[in-house]
Amino acid sequence: MIYLDNAATSFPKPERVYQAVDWTLRHIGANPGRSGHSLSLSAARLVLDAREALAALLHISNPDAIVFGNNCTDMLNLAIKGVCREGMNVVTSVFSHNSVLRPLNRLASQGKIHLQTVLDPIEAIDRHTDLVVIPHANNVTGEIIPVEQVAVLCQMHKALLLVDAAQTAGVLPLYPEEWGVDLCAMPGHKGLLGVQGTGALYIRDGLVLDTLKEGGTGTSSHLLTQPDELPERYESGTLNTAGIASLAQGARYCLERRHEIRGQELLLTDMLLCGLLNIPHVQVYGALDAISRVGTVSFNLGSMPSGEVADQLNDARICVRAGLHCAPLAHEALGTTQQGAVRVSLGYANTWQDIDALLWALSRIAKGGTI
């Protein structure tokens, strides 16, 4: 199979990621930070190693500013519901994922916040804005939003900034602390190359969020209230230690090879865009230059339903994603609500041969032939 659905989950993983999961389950297996025996201490060291690996990749000075959770959706819910206060004015993008749109719209429907969902968040930020929530790169067209510029505007207007780095963590350079980002959420299983069931949230020093859950943390067990210290305040319950161990190895792999990964992605994205534009009746959405986007390209083949194109590609053993990609407002803005779009998303393991095979298959579909 040729796998081109990395915007959903990266696959395959580097070998060291698989080995980290296996080693943790076979040789450690204990709860991190819950006991004083050697296996529990080893588990706690694995979790600390992952915090330090992510801190190095994200250029963050304090690893404890990184909180672990189940996925990016989990982290975005903690960030949004933890920071939103009654009457806040919130700005987000129509290109936001449902993991942003749904919690924000729920708060808005309850009358707790005033929500603006706009094409260009930069133009909407003003002195009345309290919180801005943006994707670093949207998951439909792959176009990159200039986070540094948004961060400056937010600082000028004293607004908080939450960045959804689901499509960029591990792929693009991220400097949330240096840029002045208040919160940055990311999945472990996409560009960071860890396994599913992992996510992380960077929380700016001094920013305190309301908790979504309370419970055992392994610290301050004499208290009947949640501890205030990071990261324990937001990490109740047993962590996915094996998953976090995989995330540590994925992050270190990205740190060692970030220039190689991005360079390969740019070359393959350019090859894909050029090839698509040479196929009759193909409509590509978003910027037509590779540098303005991550390796995610959405398109349609004439009026053909996107699901039908994806099914034919699957018959040719090529994995892509079709539909609305959990981003309904993005498709509304693109005019593809009914048709959806075919999304190809590249990963570190893809090759030019993969793109060549995809383009050949699409050319056959466009001509009405069989693959």
Sign (positive/negative) of CA torsion 311, 312, 317, 321? negative
What does the chain come to in residues?
A: 371
CB 291 within 8 A of CB 327: no
Q: What is the arithmetic mean of pLDDT over 332-344?
A: 97
pLDDT tens column, 99-141: 999 999 999 999 999 999 999 999 999 999 999 999 999 999 9
List b or e across 211-221, with b for residues whose CB sees 16 or more CB atoms inside 10 angstroms: eeeeeebbeee
CB 235 within 8 A of CB 68: yes
Distance CA 227, CA 18 (A): 34
Distance CA 188, CA 201 (A): 10
pLDDT tens column, 232-259: 888 888 899 999 999 999 999 999 999 9
Those residues with Cβ within 8 angstroms of residue 116's Cβ, 6 or more apart along the chain or in another chain:
89, 90, 91, 92, 124
CATH fold match for the domains 2-9+258-361 and 15-254: no
CB 236 within 8 A of CB 260: no
Is the per-residue pLDDT at 371 higher than 60? Answer: no
Strand partners, 184: 163, 202
pLDDT tens column, 44-71: 999 999 999 999 999 999 999 999 999 9
Is the per-residue pLDDT at 370 higher than 70? Answer: no
CB 41 within 8 A of CB 355: no
pLDDT tens column, 295-337: 999 999 999 999 999 999 999 999 999 999 999 999 999 999 9
CB 5 within 8 A of CB 319: yes
Please tell me the least confidently modeled range out of 85-94, 206-215, 298-307. Answer: 206-215
Q: Map residue 218 onto helix, strand or coil.
A: coil
| Longest pairwise C-alpha distance within the chain | 70
Strand partners, 207: none
Q: Which CATH superfamily is domain 2-9+258-361 in?
A: Aspartate Aminotransferase, domain 1 (3.90.1150.10)
Distance CA 160, CA 171 (A): 24
List b or e across 162-194, with b for residues whose CB sees 16 or more CB atoms inside 10 angstroms: bbbbbbbbbbbebebbebbbbbbbbbbbbbbbb
Provide the residue ranges of all domains of the chain, joining segments of one domain with +.
Answer: 2-9+258-361, 15-254
Is the per-residue pLDDT at 9 higher than 70? Answer: yes
- Exposure of 51 in the CB half-sphere (CA atoms within 13 A): 21
Q: What is the arithmetic mean of pLDDT over 9-33?
A: 95
Angstrom distances, CA of residue 259 to CA of 6, 156, 174, 236, 355: 18, 32, 13, 36, 21
CB 159 within 8 A of CB 134: no
pLDDT tens column, 145-190: 999 999 999 999 999 999 999 999 999 999 999 999 999 999 999 9
The topology under which CATH files domain 15-254 is Aspartate Aminotransferase; domain 2 (3.40.640)
pTM of the model: 0.95
